[in-house]
């Protein structure tokens, strides 16, 4: 080892001691041990943004979150594929059956407000355990096919678990290097789960002649696997380590961060954008089978394949366009994707042909795909870093509630007017989504968001300098 290397190592060790000594004292030894194990130098400027594969443990954690999002996609897409069979099994109408969409909203909402608290007390390990555990409880109860009034209640548990994971992992990965690409792959896995879920569920019912609830045996298995992997990979990501790495998130200051996040207009613009986006995504995916059966007069299995094509399009769109969006600029790219979606939706609505509808559904999914990941990336650029966990976590969980509220609304309207109302409702939602997107600052220049970010940082630095000058005076 050269003398310069020895000097560098010594300086890094001294800096690390200084960083550790400045942190809160609650179990800081565990935080030091975790940092050393992962090989991360807290003073290295290049590691301010984590990477998916560095520290090394991140690679296994990231892969675990991919499985989590596959499970999320399977959960959300299964509703739509099973609705026709739930109607027959329980002998209920569209409005009543739509409660299975609405019930998880309460869980999502609770997760939105508790996300920061769970991080503060239990760290990422809390998210990793509570999320899949809630899903396991819900799926086990569904497997015993209880009376229908029990289903909406038990789906609240699944909604809470999914809401916690959705908010926690989006906030974590949204702060990584190459966030557009990493989030694109993450949400692509959601689309993959959503693509295979209707196919498996439909095949089990129509080809294997199994009862609808047998599908949830599979869901229990996936959720148990997710829980085991989550405990193994996030076992050291405790609340003590989270508080040590984020000193401003504990005690009363942590609650003030949540309040500050809820007072920030960017938080609410992103939350409403995601609420509408997730709502139209799950409304289309959830009611496509019924639409293709009742309006396009398709066969049950072929109609199931259409919704699989929609979710596959979403998967490919998130992965492929995730590498394009950042190069164009998030604001301009998403506005363009939304305009394309409007055109495809018009064609879907006005051309009454089964094959054409199937093609439009796939392309619609493709251009819808990048919207959620891009919104998370935009939020990380527009919000101060101290608000990322609180604001992005809230927006993601609150937005996830769109998977409950809007599909329920579509079902209620479909009960009165017929399921053909799906297409004009979707078109109106696309217009509303674009309107909220345009309200976000930064304009449509490629570097517009970075300019807003730089201006915000300069104002913050000037404020800090003024405060320091006042104190010294």
Domains located in the chain, CATH noted = 55-461 (1.20.1250.20)
In this prediction, residue 378 carries a pLDDT of 92
List of residues 6+ apart from 99 with CB closer than 8 A: 151, 152, 408
In this prediction, residue 7 carries a pLDDT of 41
* Burial group, residue 252, by CB count within 10 angstroms (0-12, 13-18, 19+): exposed
CB contact at 8 A, 195 and 181? no
CB contact at 8 A, 40 and 236? no
Per DSSP, the three-state class of 178 is coil
Own/partner contacts of 205-210, CB < 8 Å, gap of 24 or more, are: 205/82, 205/85, 206/300, 206/301, 206/304, 207/301
List of residues 6+ apart from 274 with CB closer than 8 A: 372, 375, 395, 396, 398, 399, 400, 402
Rounded to two decimals, the pTM is 0.79
In the chain, the N- to C-terminal Cα span, in Å, equals 48
What is the helix (H) or strand (E) element at residue 104, kind and residue range? helix 104-143
Q: How many helices (H) and strands (E) does the chain have?
A: 20, 0
- Rounded to an integer, what distance in angstroms lies between the CA atom of residue 387 and that of residue 382? 10
In this prediction, residue 454 carries a pLDDT of 79
- Rounded to an integer, what distance in angstroms lies between the CA atom of residue 396 and that of residue 411? 24
List of residues 6+ apart from 355 with CB closer than 8 A: none
- Rounded to an integer, what distance in angstroms lies between the CA atom of residue 10 and that of residue 368? 51
**Minimum mean pLDDT range among 46-50, 86-90, 100-104, 267-271:** 46-50
Per the rule left: phi > 0, alpha: psi between -120 and 50, beta: everything else, 238 is beta
Residues 238-265 have a mean pLDDT of 74
Per DSSP, the three-state class of 365 is helix
* Burial group, residue 277, by CB count within 10 angstroms (0-12, 13-18, 19+): buried
Q: What are the φ and ψ backbone dihedral angles of 51, each rounded to 5 degrees?
A: -115, 160
pLDDT at 471 over 70: no
pLDDT digits (tens, 9 = 90+) for 2-16: 444 434 434 344 443
The CB-side HSE value for 232 (13 A sphere, CA atoms) comes to 12
In this prediction, residue 4 carries a pLDDT of 42
CB contact at 8 A, 372 and 274? yes
* Nearest alpha-carbon partner for 110 in 152, 72, 151, 159: 159
CB contact at 8 A, 176 and 49? yes
Angle between helices 56-90 and 104-143 (to 10 degrees): 80
- Rounded to an integer, what distance in angstroms lies between the CA atom of residue 225 and that of residue 89? 30
256 falls in which pLDDT band (50, 70, 90)?
low
Q: What are the φ and ψ backbone dihedral angles of 440, each rounded to 5 degrees?
A: -70, 140
In this prediction, residue 28 carries a pLDDT of 43
Percent of the chain with pLDDT over 90: 47
Per DSSP, the three-state class of 296 is coil
305 falls in which pLDDT band (50, 70, 90)?
confident
CB contact at 8 A, 347 and 356? yes
pLDDT at 18 over 70: no
Residues 238-246 have a mean pLDDT of 86
In this prediction, residue 470 carries a pLDDT of 46
Cα three-residue angle 452-453-455, rounded to 5 degrees = 65
pLDDT at 273 over 90: yes
pLDDT digits (tens, 9 = 90+) for 175-217: 888 888 899 899 999 989 988 998 899 889 988 999 999 999 9
């Amino acid at each position: 080892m050269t003398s310069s290397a020895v000097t560098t190592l010594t300086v890094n060790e001294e800096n690390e001691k200084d960083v550790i000594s400045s942190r809160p004292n609650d179990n800081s030894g565990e935080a030091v041990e975790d940092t050393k194990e992962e090989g991360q130098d807290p003073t290295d400027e290049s590691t301010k943004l984590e990477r998916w594969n560095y520290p090394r443990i991140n690679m296994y954690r990231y892969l675990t979150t991919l499985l989590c999002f596959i499970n999320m996609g399977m959960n959300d897409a299964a509703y739509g594929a099973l609705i026709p069979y739930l109607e027959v099994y329980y002998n209920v109408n569209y409005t009543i059956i739509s409660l299975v969409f609405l019930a998880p909203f309460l869980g999502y909402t609770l997760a939105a407000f508790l996300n920061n608290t769970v991080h503060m007390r239990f760290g990422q390990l809390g998210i990793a355990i509570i999320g899949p555990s809630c899903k396991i409880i819900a799926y086990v109860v569904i497997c015993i096919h209880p009376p229908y009034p029990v289903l909406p209640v038990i789906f609240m548990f699944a909604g809470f678990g999914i809401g916690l994971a959705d908010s926690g992992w989006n906030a974590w990965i949204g702060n990584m290097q190459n966030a557009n690409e990493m989030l694109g792959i993450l949400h692509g896995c959601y689309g993959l789960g959503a693509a295979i879920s209707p196919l498996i569920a439909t095949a089990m019912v129509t080809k294997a002649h199994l009862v609808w609830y047998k599908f949830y045996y599979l869901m229990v298995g996936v959720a148990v696997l997710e829980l085991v992997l989550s405990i193994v990979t996030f076992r050291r990501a405790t609340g003590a380590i989270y508080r040590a790495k984020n000193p401003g998130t504990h005690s009363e200051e942590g609650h003030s961060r949540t309040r500050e996040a809820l007072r920030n207009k960017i938080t609410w613009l992103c939350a409403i954008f995601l609420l509408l986006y997730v709502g139209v995504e799950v409304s289309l995916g959830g009611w496509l089978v019924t639409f293709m059966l009742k309006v396009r007069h398709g066969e049950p299995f072929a109609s199931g394949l259409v919704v699989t094509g929609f979710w596959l399009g979403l998967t490919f769109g998130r992965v492929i366009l995730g590498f394009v969006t950042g190069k164009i600029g998030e604001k301009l790219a998403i506005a363009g994707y939304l305009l394309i979606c409007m055109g495809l939706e018009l064609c879907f609505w006005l051309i009454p042909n089964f094959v054409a509808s199937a093609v439009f559904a796939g392309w619609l999914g493709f251009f819808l795909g990048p919207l959620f990941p891009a919104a998370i990336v935009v939020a990380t650029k527009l919000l101060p870093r101290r608000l990322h966990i609180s604001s992005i976590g809230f927006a993601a969980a609150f937005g996830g509630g769109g998977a409950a509220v809007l599909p329920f609304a579509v079902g209620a309207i479909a009960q009165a007017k017929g399921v053909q109302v799906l297409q004009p409702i979707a078109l109106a939602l696309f217009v509303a989504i674009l309107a909220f997107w345009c309200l976000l600052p930064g304009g449509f220049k490629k570097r517009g968001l970075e300019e807003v970010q730089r201006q915000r940082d300069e104002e913050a630095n000037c404020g800090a300098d003024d405060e320091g000058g006042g104190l010294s005076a």
